[in-house]
Amino acid sequence: MNEWSRLLLMIAGFSAAYCIPWDSPVIRQSGLESFMMLRDYAREHVLTCLVPAFFIAGAIASFVSQASVLKYFGAKANRALSYSVASVSGTVLAVCSCTVLPLFAGIHTRGAGIGPATAFLYSGPAINVLAIILTARVLGWQIGLARAVGAVVFSVLAGLLMAWIFRREDAARDAGDFILPEEDRKERSLAQEAFYLATMVLILVFAAFAKPAQGEAGLWLFIFRIKWYVTAALLIALGIELRLWFTTGELKYWMETTWQFAKQIVPLLAGGVLIAGFLLGRPGYEALIPEHYIHDLVGGNSLRANFFAAVAGAFMYFATLTEVPILQGLIGSGMGQGPALALLLAGPALSLPSMIALAGIMGFRKTFTYCTIVVVLSTVTGIGYGWLTG
């Protein structure tokens, strides 16, 4: 951060303290919601989601062969393979729109093309198997199926559109220079590399596994009950792998790379959560924008209703699975089926915090284009679904 940036930041902070009418009950409530949302995010997502995600991103940038990334996700990679893998990654990861950011940053830094990387960025939070099953059980199998199909198709379409729009930049972009000194590397087989990364992904999956909805039973409830035992066993396995397969220099480099991602993303993410909380509040708690405005604007299946639902979903932050009970309440208040699907397709994949952090990773222009693609596709799909179910 240069001196001008520091000066502007100080001026912005002082202006906010001086000009915002904190005597207003609405403003006070919005300020409280801002910090309450940050508290909830810190409690529910930082240790179990973001921290493992940062370490995985650091490992990708430090240890994964750049040639392998370019082979499967590069701009010149086989499209059928790269988009197929990227579009279904969410079935394994089951992360939220903010947790996927460091993972996206890791593969993009290693040279992945903007198309496959964007498909991965969308699918990570959108194709959550538990969320889709819960959607079908609570809101109906039709909207659950539409969400699953729409999310897979969206990830491919969004990736292809981003690849086409930024094709010249993608072809000319230099891959990130993350190469360890050869003399301080241990020779590892592909199976060892894959096993090491799979162990960390499983730590993320089990640590972040959400509690099933009230009344849910079976496999999901069993996994939730044993999640910490499995996570502990995986952490022990990871420690053994690190001890046997990596040098001290490699581990130091991994920590440094992880810290670089954290420094880049965490401040932007925290700021975005505060802004989202101030404007929208937490589910069930009003902030600056009253909830009844949203209810009034998403009834029926008009272009306006679907577009507003997609935009509102894109800016709101949904913790994993929380979008289902929120939509259940909105549908009960008169929300149309089309706008409900539009919100489901735009909401989990985007949020104001993730937009702000994403702009710091790939720039404002690409972030704006990606968000526009998601909102437009969600709106069109919502209109189509509302017409079919109407």
The pLDDT value given to residue 379: 94
- Segment (H or E) for 256: helix 248-280
Distance CA 379, CA 311 (A): 9
Cβ(213)–Cβ(324) below 8 Å? yes
CB atoms within 10 A of CB 171: 10
CA separation (Å) from 2 to 8, 9, 16, 268?
10, 11, 21, 17
Residue 299, helix vs strand vs coil: strand
The pLDDT value given to residue 352: 82
Cβ(337)–Cβ(302) below 8 Å? no
Q: Tokens for 141?
A: 């199998």
CA separation (Å) from 268 to 32, 254, 273, 291, 352?
19, 22, 9, 26, 10
- What is the DSSP secondary-structure string of 29-96? HHHHHHHHHHHHHIIIIIIIIIHHHHHHHHHHHHHS-HHHHHHHHSTTS-HHHHHHHHHTTHHHH---
The pLDDT value given to residue 235: 92
Q: Tokens for 356?
A: 């702000």
Residue 335, helix vs strand vs coil: strand
Residues with Cβ within 8 Å of 5's Cβ and at least 6 positions away in sequence, in order, are none
The pLDDT value given to residue 128: 64
Cβ(63)–Cβ(168) below 8 Å? no
Residues with Cβ within 8 Å of 185's Cβ and at least 6 positions away in sequence, in order, are 247, 250
> For 133-169, how does the pLDDT look when each residue is reduced to its tens digit (9 = 90+)?
667 776 788 888 888 888 888 888 998 999 899 888 7
The pLDDT value given to residue 371: 93
Taking every pair of C-alpha atoms in the chain, what is the biggest distance, in angstroms? 66
Stated length of the chain: 390
Residues with Cβ within 8 Å of 241's Cβ and at least 6 positions away in sequence, in order, are 192, 195, 196, 199
| Nearest by Cα to 275 from 290, 287, 261 | 287
The rounded Cα 390 to chain-centroid distance in angstroms is 31
The pLDDT value given to residue 182: 44
Cβ(52)–Cβ(207) below 8 Å? yes
The pLDDT value given to residue 349: 81
CA separation (Å) from 89 to 33, 37, 126, 163, 331?
33, 28, 10, 19, 29
* Residues of the chain falling short of pLDDT 50: 174-184
The pLDDT value given to residue 376: 94
Q: What is the 3 state secondary structure string of 321-334?
A: CCHHHHHHHHHHCC
